[in-house]
Structure 1
Amino acid sequence: MNLESPKVSVPKSAEYLFNELSQVKNFEKLMPENIAKFEVLDENAFIFGLKGMPEIKLKMKDKTPNSKIVLGAASDKLPFTLTANLNENGAEATEIQLVFDGEFNAMMAMMIKGPISKFIETLAQNMNKL
C-alpha cells in the first residue's frame, strides 16, 4: 500500500527542515491534536499513540542530507516506512511530501487506509510548525 500526502510548501530552507526532522523529538510538533502519547525512546526512535489506535514505534532508517528522511516501523508485525521528501524551491522555500509505504493484507489495508491518509496529511500540513 502506497499513500502520498499533498505537497506542502514551507518557508524554510531544505537544510533547516532536514535538520529539524533529523531530531525525532521534533515529530511531536507535527502530530495531530488527538495524540494520546508521544515518547522519545532514543535519538533515533520514538513511540506515539493516537486515540483509538494502537501505539506505533518508529525509528530512523535512512537520511539523505537536505532531501530525504526515512522512518520505519520498529516492529516486523506491521512493516512500513514513512518518507519525507524535501525539494528546495529557492533559498527560503521547500516543498515537502510524505510517502507511506507498507505491506498489508487486503483486510488490514482497507481498515487503515483512511486513518493513515489523514494522519500523513496532518503531519505534512503541520510542517510549518517546525
Structure 2
Amino acid sequence: MNLESPTVTIKKPAQDTFEFLSNVKNFEQLMPENISKFEVLGEDTFVFALKGMPEIILKKKEAIAPNKIVLGAAGGKLDFSLTGDIKSVDDSTSEVQLTFNGDFNPMMAMMIKGPISKFIETLATNLPSKV
C-alpha cells in the first residue's frame, strides 16, 4: 500500500526543512489533535498513539541531506515506512511530500487506508506553520 500526502510549500530552505524533520522531537508539533500519546524514546525513535489506535513506534532509518528522511516501524507486527521527500524550490523555499509505504494484507489495508491517509495529510498540512 502506497499513500501520498499533498505536496506542501514551506517558506524555509530545504536544509532547514530537512533539519526540522531530522529531529524526531519535532514530530509532536505535527501530530493531529486526536493524539493520545507522544514520547521520544531516543535520539532517532519516538512512539505515538492516536485515540482508538494502537501505539506506533517510529525510528529514523535513513537521512539524506537535504532531500530525504525515512522513518520506519520499529518493532510491532506491521512493517511500513514514512518518507519525507524535500525539494528545494529556491534559496528560501522548499516543498515536502510525505509517502507512506507498507505491505499489508487486503483486509488490513482496507481498514487502515482512511486513517493513515488522513494522518499523513495532517502531518503535511501542519508542516508549513511549524518549520
TM-score normalised by L of structure 2: 0.97
Task: Please give the alpha-carbon distance, in whole angstroms, between the structure 2 residues aligned to 1:25 and 1:114.
Answer: 26
What's the counterpart of residue 92 of structure 1?
92
Task: Please give the alpha-carbon distance, in whole angstroms, between the structure 1 residues aligned to 2:96 and 2:9.
Answer: 6
What fraction of aligned residue pairs are identical, expressed as a percent? 62
What's the counterpart of residue 32 of structure 1?
32
What's the counterpart of residue 115 of structure 2?
115
1:54-78: CA deviation from partner (whole Å, max 9, x where unpaired): 0100000001001000000002510
Give runs of ≥4 in structure 1 deviating > 3 Å. Answer: none
Letter in 2 for 1:64: I
What's the counterpart of residue 124 of structure 1?
124
Task: Please give the alpha-carbon distance, in whole angstroms, between the structure 1 residues aligned to 2:17 and 2:94.
Answer: 8
Task: Please give the alpha-carbon distance, in whole angstroms, between the structure 2 residues aligned to 1:108 and 1:3.
Answer: 14
**Mapping 1:1-130, distance limit 5 Å:** 1-75=1-75, 77-128=77-128, 129-130=130-131
Unpaired segments of 5 or more residues in structure 1?
none
Task: Please give the alpha-carbon distance, in whole angstroms, between the structure 1 residues aligned to 2:50 and 2:119.
Answer: 10
Letter in 1 for 2:53: M
The CA deviation at 1:33 is 0.7
1:72-125: CA deviation from partner (whole Å, max 9, x where unpaired): 000251000000000010011111000000000000000000000000000000
